[in-house]
Structure 1
Amino acid sequence: MNQKKNILSGYGSLLKAIRSTMFICTKQIFDGGFLFVAGGYMIQAVQFVMLIFIWKSLNQGEELLTYTLMATILHQELNIISPATSSLWEGSVIGRFLRPMPVEASFIAETIGKWWIPNFLFFGLPLWLLAPFIGISPWPASLHHGILAFISLLLAASLGFAIDLIFASFAMHLKNGCFAALAIREAIFALLSGEMIPFTLFPKAVGTIFSLMPLGSIGHGPLTIYTGLADNPGFVLGLQVFWNLTIWTGAILFFRKSKERMISFGG
């Protein structure tokens, strides 16, 4: 009985530490950093408007406009960049090993608190509410598609964190090449995730191959389910589960092995 109590108490402490980390990171944007964050929102808004103009000029369907809308709103959840890589250069990664939680959980909590919550409150939700006034439907293809898309988004975010952890491990091997790892990641993600350019606009064979790859399950998967463009949502979800099990297993092993070569710069 005592053992069970200790286990439950341990989980309670972990959840409290995660919530506290998320709350602290959310408040940080008001500590002189809100203008920097607002600049990022402005860039996303300009990119969104440009893409909408392009799709409308090409006479693309309503589904593609909704696809672009949700890709913009969910950008932080679909293009996950945690502090895992940058903390190596800053030297702050050492402090994360002293926190009362696994270092992987610390990176996840910081990402949710620093990026997801502010992005939803100050950019995503207002854009979603304004969408009907600019002729774009923000609604899923159906209630069923909306529920499946939410499940798919959770799986996509989980997979995104695993891939981000792999790139952080890769950065440890590069020593002072942390930002090179980030640049490589951004270049690969922009092409293979389907967040910016839907795979339906690619040649059919190329789009099919990209959709079956891990990054395709992050952006292309939940967005096509939400808009009703997915021919078989069950297959998309099954593929996401498969990639989660595969990539997370490799990411944890690679990260644990890479920590032995970790060198932290800065202070």
Structure 2
Amino acid sequence: MEFDLKKQAKEEFDIKKQVKNTGLLQSEELHNYILETSVYPREAEPLKELREATENHPKSFMAGAPIAGQMISFLLKKENAKKTIEVGVFTGYSLLLTALSIPDDGKITAIDCDREAYEIGLPFIKKAGVEGKIDFIESDAHLALDNLLLNPKNEGSFDFAFVDADKPSYQHYHERLIKLVKVGGVIAYDNTLWGGTVAMLESQVPDFMKEYREAIMKLNKSLAADPRIDIAQLPLGDGITFCRRLY
């Protein structure tokens, strides 16, 4: 029994590592080519340092994919986003990326129930000189979003939201964020292809990925049918879906 548990843990780790290392690309070589050619040469030094510091964390697979991060930064700059929400922070790679991408007077409301992980990235955020842009809220995201909605001034006031937290709650977050993000604003959901398992037969999916796979598949169908948004689902990292609020 102990051997089986160790074997299962190793299989889970190997799959998570594979997804983190290559995303949904066909090979690690192709993934590394894009990183080395296009992503890393433009990656700010504080981001590089934080990414490398996070690699030793036992849950490093939870960190945002730099390839997806490049797209987010591109979008934030193009839209001149100033006020954003981040649901799920971990060590703060995407948070720091956002802080570096928005103007000096920009503000980020960052929500996570794990302050300890955020503290890993905080020194790099401070070193980059962008801590003043961040309002970190240590809280359950449902509660934090509901509290934001208690103030009518927050409705429709955010330019952009990025969600990378507990997958079964994505649809609940969506109903709150669609009110908080302005018309024309964008909500981005990470991990919407869940290691490619959304296109697998049920029997092919590793047991530990099944629960979140089901939640992600329900989300994808819901977003596709939501008349309030335009969507673009891209195979970047572990899959990312961008939703533009229409009304």
**TM-score normalized with structure 2 length:** 0.27
Bigger fraction of residues in helix: 1
Greater RCO between the two (CA within 8 Å, min separation 6)?
1
